[in-house]
Amino acid sequence: MKKSVLSTAILSAIVLSGCGGSSDEGGTIQGRTITVIDGYLENAQVCVDRNENGVCDDGEVIGKTNANGQFTIPASDKDHPVIIRSIAGSTKDADRVGYLTQSFEMTASSDSSVVTPFTTLANANDMSIEDLAAVLNLDSSVISGDYVSLKGDIDKAEDAIKGHAIARSLVQELPTESANIKGDELEKTATEINDIINQHNGDIKEIEDYDIVKNEDGDYKAVEVINNLQSYLIKGNEDKDSPTSTWNLANFSKHWAAEEGVFSAWLTKDSLCVEENSQSECMSYSVNGDVLSIPSENGKEENNAFIYTSTELAFAVPDEGDLTLWTTSDLTTSINFTEKDFENKTWFIVMDDSKDSTSVPVYGEFRFGVFNSETKVGEVTLIEDGEEYKTTWTLPSGNLRIEFDQQAGDNPLVIRYATTNGEIMIVNDMDQHADVYAMMTQDESLALNIVEKWENAK
């Protein structure tokens, strides 16, 4: 089930470098510098919409943002609208630990110096920023500008904090392609989020730590922003001998998963403790940005770079390679799949295909079709190296079973559903060792970038 990690088209888009202004003998021809903000977005693709069709067409991607979310559009393109592509697993948000967990696009007109959820919403509804500011009852200079930096302005700090909180929450409603934005629905969501924020009675700075997230039922809940790795990993533990929260760790490498199994860990301010076979051992540790460092057997530190974080689970890449799952869920229990999880959806699975201790990360694409409620059988197509293989899927005992009986020597793929955070499903192949896990996502960019970081781990 191997597949090319990066197609030529995706690779060429990811590696494009940024451009600056240009000059000639008669003086400097000024370009246009934009700042891309949810928080500041690093490594987001910049697309100039030259034909103004609302789509980032081939040849319109001109570079990517720097660590401050900035990019200078050359003078030849400065009068065009822009589309910003934030790519799961590749783009970083200064507000959060690790890479973005979902892909989305934002837009701005040719006269804007920022690209934000607010410029995107205004464009989608063909309204001015001033009109949007009036709808949200916020200072128009906050909505039209860099609301992150304006939190340092004493006169605008409150509106800037509210604006930042709305923006952080609103991006989670943005689709992968800006052409699919439903402006009326997005405006309704923005006003509802704003109303919830305005009901907050405490210090306005407290909302800095939360996103207001809408679930599938349309209800909202406050979700903690993961902006500090140490706090995220500690999860309120104070006493190393009496932790109130623990992590379950599993290695995605088939070899090491079978060797080490799933084990528990917890952190306090000063200690990291590991429990295996009812025996616990505690050690010192340090955190620097997105990296957790712990002592190793050879006397050196082992660095674990966290590339993906969410409330329920995270992925880290250790120095020696491989990919490690951290989750607060019990991986030994099972969730029953339902037909709604797959019917007419495309899923990408990331797993290890190695035969020894050296991981071979691969991913596969499954395009699920209709599910016959009478026969309890669905259609699915495996896309592999440009080839299509059509077969069927069923859900025996709540597991996913994909038939491969048309290919001599191939057994059916039977997958158990272990846990999810709503974006990623953690699963394991029933034909493998019980502690060998894989991940499934509907975001191809996220799958590709996780495979890439796993392959590049040393």
Q: Residue 131: its pLDDT value, please?
A: 95
Interatomic CA distance for residues 233 and 153, integer angstroms = 32
Q: What are phi and psi of 315, to 5 degrees?
A: -120, 135
Residues 316-367 have pLDDT tens digits of: 998 877 899 999 999 999 999 999 999 999 999 999 988 888 889 998 999 9
Both structure tokens of 251: 């290695």
Residues 40-63 have pLDDT tens digits of: 999 999 999 999 999 999 999 999
pLDDT bin (cut points 50, 70, 90) of residue 24 is very low
Q: Residue 279: its pLDDT value, please?
A: 83
Residues 127-162 have pLDDT tens digits of: 999 999 999 999 999 999 999 999 999 999 999 999
pLDDT bin (cut points 50, 70, 90) of residue 27 is very low
pLDDT bin (cut points 50, 70, 90) of residue 14 is very low
Share of the chain above pLDDT 90, in %: 72
* Strand 114-115 versus strand 32-36 pairing type: parallel
CA 47 to chain centre: 20
Q: Residue 260: its pLDDT value, please?
A: 86
Domain limits, the chain: 8-224, 229-458
Indicate the average pLDDT of the chain: 89
Count of beta carbons in the 10 Å neighbourhood of residue 139? 20
Please say if the pLDDT value at position 21 is more than 50: no
Please say if the pLDDT value at position 22 is more than 60: no
Q: Residue 191: its pLDDT value, please?
A: 95
